[in-house]
Structure 1
C-alpha cells in the first residue's frame, strides 16, 4: 500500500513541477524579452551618441588639417611675395613667361 501512496505522491509532485516549470519558462521568456527590448533601446541611444561624437571628432580633425594647410600655403605665399619684393628692390625685372610683373 505504501508503494501506491508513494507513486501518487510522486505523480502529484511531478504535476506541480511541470506547472511551475511552465510558469518559470513563461516568466523567463517575458523577462528576457523586456530586457532585450531595453538593451535594444539603450544600444540605439549609445550608437546615436557615439555617431555624433565621431562626427564632431572628424570635424575637429578636418579643421586641424585645413588649418595646418592654410598655414603652410600662407608661408609659401609670404615667401614668394618676399622674393618678388626682393627682386624688385634689386632693380631686376620679375618676369613670368613673357610678361613683366613690375
Structure 2
C-alpha cells in the first residue's frame, strides 16, 4: 500500500516538474527573443558609432598627412630661398637652366 502512495506522489511531483519546466522554457524563450532584439538594436547603434568614429579617425589622418606635406614643402621652399640668398650674397650668379635669376 505504501508503494502505491509513493508512486502516486512521484507521479504528481513529475507532473508539477513538467509544468514548471514548460513555464521555464516559455520564459527562457521570451527572454531570449527580447535579448536578441535588444542586442540587434545595440549592435546597430554600435555599428553606426564605430563607423563615424572611423570616419573621424580617417579625416584626422588625411588632415595630418596634408599638413605634414605642407610643412615639408614649406621647409624645402625656405631652404631653396635661403640657398638662393646665400648664392647672391656670395656674388655668384644663380642660374636655372639657361636663365639667370639675379
Q: Distance in 2 between matches of 1:9 and 1:65?
A: 80
Q: Distance in 2 between matches of 1:10 and 1:80?
A: 99
Structure 2 regions of 5+ residues with no counterpart? none
Q: How large is the Cα RMSD of the aligned pairs? A: 1.9
Structure 1 regions of 5+ residues with no counterpart? none
Q: Which moved more, 1:59-68 or 1:22-31?
A: 59-68
Q: TM-score, normalised by structure 2?
A: 0.81
Q: TM-score, normalised by structure 1?
A: 0.81
1:35 Cα deviation after fit: 0.8
Counterparts of residues 53-92 of structure 1 (less than 5 Å): 53-88=53-88, 90-92=90-92
1:81 Cα deviation after fit: 2.2
How many residues in Structure 1 have an aligned counterpart in Structure 2? 102
Q: Secondary structure at the residue paired with 1:77?
A: helix
Q: Which 4+ runs in 1 deviate beyond 6 A?
A: none
